[in-house]
Amino acid sequence: MTEVRINKSRLALVQGDITTEETDAIANAANSGLRGGGGVDGAIHRAGGPAIMEECRKIGSCLPGRAVITTGGNLKARYVIHAVGPIYQGGNKGEALLLKSVHREILKLATANHIKSIAFPAISAGAYGYPLRDAADIALRTTCDYLKEHDDIELVRFVLLDRATYDAFAEALETICPQS
Ligand code: AR6
């Protein structure tokens, strides 16, 4: 685990399973149809139970770069913020802007819902194919920039399933916040 302080907020990296997080909210790497799927999306719906999918069905869909909020069903987290990252298509299709936008939209929804702590997975870095180190860099830079401007969110935890993903985020954080 590694942790840095950004103004009044803490930004932490941990290796683990996001479905067991006790933060107020967890972010989900969803698809535009909010239909559930594999990866972290599948794990969140399995652990959270059918109430989350029921809410997703009512919402309907979500554009890439955007996010929507539901309750957390049976999860310890009170909310799930379902976010749609870009599908990586070589890097010239606006993917970086969309990945930045998706992180900002999640944080804005957290602020709007008075969420004090939130966990993120490595959005787009699995099935959507975003190169890991670049995805880590964008996720952390966007989060750091947001936390510098807003002090309402006390804790952001990036919960990274495997060692390679954790190491990529730790390297990126070292470049962005060298005091860590
Ligand atoms: N906890 C934390 N991270 C996890 C977990 C978990 N339980 N399970 C997987 N990861 P992905 P994407 C990591 O593919 O690339 C879905 O089918 C995983 O190792 O879940 O944004 C959706 O429905 C990787 O580092 O999301 C979409 O169709 C990261 O989460 C599509 O995949 C993201 O991998 C979204 O693709």
Question: In this predicted structure, what is the pLDDT of residue 180?
Answer: 44
Domain coordinates of the chain in residue numbers? 2-176
Tens of pLDDT along 126-166? 999 999 999 999 999 999 999 999 999 999 999 999 999 99
Q: Which CATH number fits domain 2-176: 3.40.190.10, 3.30.420.60, 3.30.1300.10, 3.40.220.10?
A: 3.40.220.10
Burial bucket for residue 12 (CB in 10 Å: 0-12, 13-18, 19+): middle
From ligand 1's centre to the CA of 127, what distance in Å?
7
Determine the atom of ligand 1 nearest the C-alpha atom of 18.
1
Active-site residue (options: 41, 152, 162, 167): 41
Question: In this predicted structure, what is the pLDDT of residue 147?
Answer: 96
Catalytic: 41?
A: yes
In this structure, are residues 157 and 118 in contact, taking their beta carbons and an 8 Å threshold? Answer: yes
String of b and e for 15-29 (b: at least 16 CB within 10 Å)? Answer: beebbebebbbbbbb
Question: In this predicted structure, what is the pLDDT of residue 1?
Answer: 86
Question: In this predicted structure, what is the pLDDT of residue 65?
Answer: 98
From ligand 1's centre to the CA of 153, what distance in Å?
24
From ligand 1's centre to the CA of 75, what distance in Å?
17
- Low pLDDT (below 70) residues in the chain: 178-180
Indicate which residue's Cα is closest to atom 21 of ligand 1: 124
Using alpha carbons, select from 107, 71, 101, 83 the residue that is nearest to residue 34.
83
Q: Which protein residues are within 6 Å of ligand 1, measured from CB?
A: 17-19, 29-31, 37-41, 43, 85, 121-128, 159, 161-162, 165
